[in-house]
Chain A
Amino acid sequence: MFDLKDLYQEVIVDHNRSPRNFGEIADADRMIEGYNPLCGDKLNLYVKYDGSGERISDLKFDGSGCAISVASASLMTEALKGKTREEAESIFNEFHELLTAKELPEDIDKLDKLAALAGVRDYPTRIKCATLCWHTLHSALEGKSEPVTTE
């Protein structure tokens, strides 16, 4: 059965209402735009690396979107700040699996708060809302700078 509370969990509502790491990084190493042409969601992601260029020292976003995309971006910045590129890639893969694998992965607890987004699995039309920021980050990590779209 569909239960709205599975989708709009408290942590999601909270991160939508007061998104963390919301804003610009003036001296970002990379700024990249993510766009979902279906719903008009737009976000800018700002990434700053530490001296070695391997660790994400700061990560912020701004823009507009639905509760799912804003909460997802907010949770992502929280989860990845301070992580190395390699760690970030690995969390990206786990998160992607959380939303798209046929069966819900068993060890979702290791994703911590990000696991709150598992409810999106039951709403196929909303999966892109949750993954937009992650695909944008993925592109940024690969050193790309052209805008990312979900289509």
Chain B
Amino acid sequence: MNKTVDSSAEELMARRRSALDVERVRRDFPILHQEVRGKPLAYLDNAATAQKPESVIRTIDHYYRELNSNIHRGVHYLSEKATEAYEGSRETQRRFINAASTKEIIFVRGTTEAINLVAQSYGRSRLQAGDEIIISEMEHHSNIVPWQLLRDQIGIELKIIPINDAGELKLDVYEELLNERTKLVAINHLSNALGTINPVKTIIDKAHAAGALVLVDGAQAVPHTAVDVQALGCDFYAYSGHKLFGPTGIGILYGREELLEAMPPYQGGGDMIKMVKLDHTLFNDLPYKFEAGTPHIAGGIGLGAAVEYVNEIGLDAIVAHEHDLLDYATQQAQTVDGLRLIGTAKDKASILSFVMDGIHPHDIGTIVDSEGIAIRTGHHCAMPVMDHFGVPATARASFVLYNTHEEVDRLIKALKHAREVLT
């Protein structure tokens, strides 16, 4: 081995590690400091939902203790303050993904609702029988089923980009699928089941060249990669708060202003109107046109605090730390007999999905749980991915900024133990 290369690689690794003070970060997350099954908790189920830092918990607590009030129409002090905080978070989200205007930032319940909103509002008003929508084989169910529902409602056709055995999109097939009937491409940025980072910029450019719009499902991507919707040029971008260290039940739909302007409301109710008569209604301006009813105010404000937390740590440091951790976990996983990785794309982040010979993922999950380690087992809401790899389920460890090399070591040890228990 070349010694110079080795030592410089080590230095690089050391530098990466020092960029993020994991111990300091861990102190920000109160839930991590507990024992589970008599062992220190190792939370490796972040792709399902991430834990919340003290600042988010305090923000929500503060909202209910001191600010709680309905937003937008009140003239009293609390309503003004609550509105200010909620709209302040909208501006924080705008900056986070670099949208051109807060009119393009719609608060929704999460990525699922964002995609359903586009399918029902954009899809039903602008598409017709014979039009085509392209999705991929590696989508989460929430980026499959809304389009199937739309297909059954108006007779569009769904085309699927297949994946290869590394869990990467077959881009040559994608190019063949694009044609003048293609109206929309709906694609995930980072696969929750495989960890693949998709080349969304290329996908968007090709779609636009063919005259199609693009919706990017960013639920899994935003905690792990910087997003600039203007640089990407995407037409819609969706993400959830709870995977981004924010509350559940809140998320964001970004849409280009001119598209949102032309789309009909998704739901009717309070707040989305300017004037209601018994026989007709004048809808509100963007973004409120798409926000019917009292929203999840505490959630919206909490999501603001979550994004501020991520900004404070810095996505560059987060990405470097997670990359280092995933490399280490991938390497260590090879030392477990009979372990097969599901998802070995060149460009990957944060997710280690695997199966083990002769041990069902559910048993893996239970055995590592007895060591205080939380992982997810099942189909990860991506049954077509399971079908592709011919497995009923996988075990999945997923990492974020607060996970450590020591936790990876504990996981690997527990997996070796699982082999002893069951074979």
Measured CB to CB, the residues of A under 8 A from B are 1-2, 4, 7-8, 13, 16-17, 38-42, 64-68, 123, 126, 129
Q: Which listed residue (A2, A4, A17, A64) contacts B392, Cβ 8 A? A: A64
B151 interface hit (Cβ, 8 Å): no
Contact pick for A40, options B359, B378, B421, CB 8 Å? B378
**Complex Cα distance A95/B402, Å?**
44
21 A-B residue contacts at CB 8 Å?
A2-B38, A4-B367, A7-B366, A13-B422, A39-B361, A39-B377, A39-B378, A39-B392, A39-B393, A40-B386, A40-B393, A41-B362, A42-B392, A66-B360, A66-B361, A66-B362, A66-B363, A68-B362, A68-B363, A126-B362, A129-B362
Who on chain B is nearest to A63 by CB?
B392
Residue-wise, chain B 253-282 has the 8 Å CB interface mask toward A (1 for contact) of 000000000000000000000000000000
**A4-B370, A17-B423, A67-B360 given; A38·B392 CB < 8 A:** no
Say which residue of A8, A39, A42 sits within 8 Å of B362 (CB atoms). Answer: A39
**Max chain A Cβ within 10 angstroms of own Cβ: one of B38, B361, B366:** B366
Q: CB-CB < 8 A to B362: which residues of A?
A: 39, 41, 66, 68, 126, 129
| Residues in chain A near residue B201, CB distance under 8 A | none
Residues of B within 8 A of A64 (CB): 360, 392
A-side contacts of B370, CB under 8 Å: 2, 4
User: Is B33 interfacial (CB-CB < 8 Å)?
Assistant: no
Task: Determine the distance from Cα of A65 to Cα of B377 in the docked complex, in whole angstroms.
Answer: 13
Interface string of B354-381 (1 = CB under 8 A from A): 0000011111001100100000011100
B386–A13 touching, CB < 8 Å: no
Task: Report which residue of B361, B367, B370 has the largest number of chain A beta carbons within 10 angstroms of its beta carbon.
Answer: B370
- B367 adjacent to A65 (CB under 8 Å): no
**Least Cβ–Cβ distance between A33 and chain B, in angstroms:** 14
Contact B379 A8 (CB under 8 A): no
Given A13-B421, A40-B392, A67-B360, the answer on whether A126 and B366 have CB atoms closer than 8 Å is: yes
- Tell me if A38 and B378 are in contact (CB < 8 A): yes
B366: chain A residues at CB < 8 Å are: 4, 7, 123, 126
Decide if B37 is an interface residue (CB 8 Å cutoff): yes
A65 near B360 with CB under 8 A, answer yes
* Bound form: Cα–Cα A125–B370 in Å: 14
Contact A67 B378 (CB under 8 A): no
Given contacts A4-B366, A39-B378, A66-B362, 16 further A-B contacts (CB under 8 A): A2-B37, A7-B366, A8-B421, A13-B422, A17-B423, A39-B362, A39-B393, A40-B378, A40-B386, A40-B392, A41-B360, A64-B360, A65-B360, A66-B363, A68-B363, A126-B362
Collect the chain B residues with CB atoms within 8 Å of residue A13's CB.
421-422
For B394, give the chain A residue with the smallest CB separation.
Answer: A40
Residues of B within 8 A of A (CB): 37-38, 359-363, 366-367, 370, 377-379, 386, 392-393, 421-423
Task: State in angstroms the CA–CA spacing of A67 and B361 once bound together.
Answer: 10
| Closest chain A residue, CB of each to CB of B393 | A40
Task: With both chains docked as a complex, state the minimum distance between the C-beta of A9 and any C-beta of chain B, in angstroms.
Answer: 11
Bound Cα distance from A13 to B423, whole angstroms: 8
Report Cα–Cα, A68/B388, bound state, in Å.
25
- Does A40 contact B379, Cβ atoms closer than 8 Å? yes
C-alpha gap A7/B379 in the complex (Å): 23
Of B367, B386, B392, which contacts A41 at CB under 8 A? B392
Contacts of B421 in A (CB 8 A): 4, 8, 13
Give the top 4 A-B pairs by smallest Cβ distance, nearest first. Answer: A40-B392, A66-B360, A66-B362, A4-B370
**How far is it, in angstroms, between the C-alpha of A40 and the C-alpha of B362 when the chains are bound?**
10
**B41 shortest CB reach to chain A, Å:** 14
Contacts of A123 in B (CB 8 A): 366
List A contacts of B392 (CB < 8 A).
39-42, 64
**How far apart sit A2 and B36, CA to CA, in the bound complex (Å)?**
10
Q: Are B377 and A16 interface neighbours, CB within 8 A? A: no
- Assuming A4-B367, A42-B392, A129-B362, is B422 touching A67 (CB within 8 A)? yes
Q: In whole angstroms, how far apart are the Cα atoms of A1 and B370 in the complex?
A: 10
Distance to closest chain B CB from A3 (angstroms)? 8
Contacts of B367 in A (CB 8 A): 4, 8
Min Cβ gap B9→A in Å is 39
Q: Which residues of B contact A16 (CB under 8 A)?
A: 422
Q: Which B residue sits closest to A5, measured CB to CB?
A: B421
Residue from B362, B379, B421 whose CB has the most chain A CB atoms within 10 Å: B362
Residue of A nearest to B367 (CB): A4
| Chain A residues, Cβ within 8 Å of B423 | 17
Q: Are A8 and B393 in contact (CB under 8 A)?
A: no
A129 contacts which chain B residues (CB < 8 A)? Answer: 362
Complex: A2 Cα to B366 Cα, angstroms: 11
A41–B386 alpha-carbon span in the complex (Å): 13
Bound CA–CA A129/B377 (angstroms): 14
